[in-house]
Structure 1
Amino acid sequence: MRTILLLICSNVFMTIAWYGHLKQHQLPIWKAILISWGIAFFEYCLMVPANRWGFSNGFTGFQLKMTQEVITLVVFTVFAMVYLHEPFHWKYLVSFALLLGAVYFMFKK
């Protein structure tokens, strides 16, 4: 559970680092890059221990990556709807269901 919580928190930071500047059109690109790097530092401070602890507690590298990708999409969906005010379409739900199927098969013994 610690691994999953750290992955969620790290993805919040990375989503903000990558996409938080999109509505800041007046911000020069070099400033956006520096701010994003600063935010991404905290993402790495969470992601590295999440992966290390997850791997040492039975997750495979493939399982960690697939789990991280699904978490990324969930975090981004919330971000896109709340911050970017983008609509959520049914086709995204179908796509997510297919990814969850991939995660299911990744963990299947």
Structure 2
Amino acid sequence: MPTILLLTISNLFMTAAWYWHLKGGMNKPLFAVILISWGIAFVEYCFAVPANRIGFAHGWSAGQLKIAQEAIALIVFGGFMVTVLGEPLHWRHLAAFLCIIAAVGFLFVGRS
């Protein structure tokens, strides 16, 4: 589905925009980091806006789009956290993710 694919790409860019500087960029001036992050976020918007428009045009509600985006964001961030930042996953991460997946389920139940 194009909405899910575009939201996933969007989240890859947004995660990079928000967190890239935590690994190897802490010595850069804050203003430079903000400008670089804005540039990355611009690319994110180029995927997020069409994703939301396409999803909405295909009958998704704004709430469904948002909760799907949040679930995707957690998956993307989990991968980023482990592979780029070198932080381990714990059972708490899985429990929190399952809560978000339950929220996705609640918003999509009964959707025709």
Runs of 4+ in 1 over 3 A off after TM superposition: none
1:20-72 per-residue CA deviation (whole Å, 9 max, x = no partner) reads 01121211101100000000000000000000000000111000000000000
Q: Give the TM-score normalised by structure 1.
A: 0.98
CA RMSD in angstroms, aligned pairs only? 0.6
Q: Distance in 1 between matches of 2:27 and 2:2?
A: 39
Tell me the equivalent position of 2:62. 61
Q: Distance in 2 between matches of 1:18 and 1:25?
A: 13
Q: Distance in 2 between matches of 1:31 and 1:5?
A: 30
Structure 2: runs of 5 or more not aligned: none
SS in 2 for 1:25: coil
Q: Distance in 2 between matches of 1:68 and 1:100?
A: 11
Q: Give the TM-score normalised by structure 2.
A: 0.95
How many residue pairs get aligned? The number is 109
| AA aligned opposite 1:20 | W
Matched, 1:6 2:24: no
1:4-83 superposed matches below 5 A: 4-23=4-23, 24-83=25-84
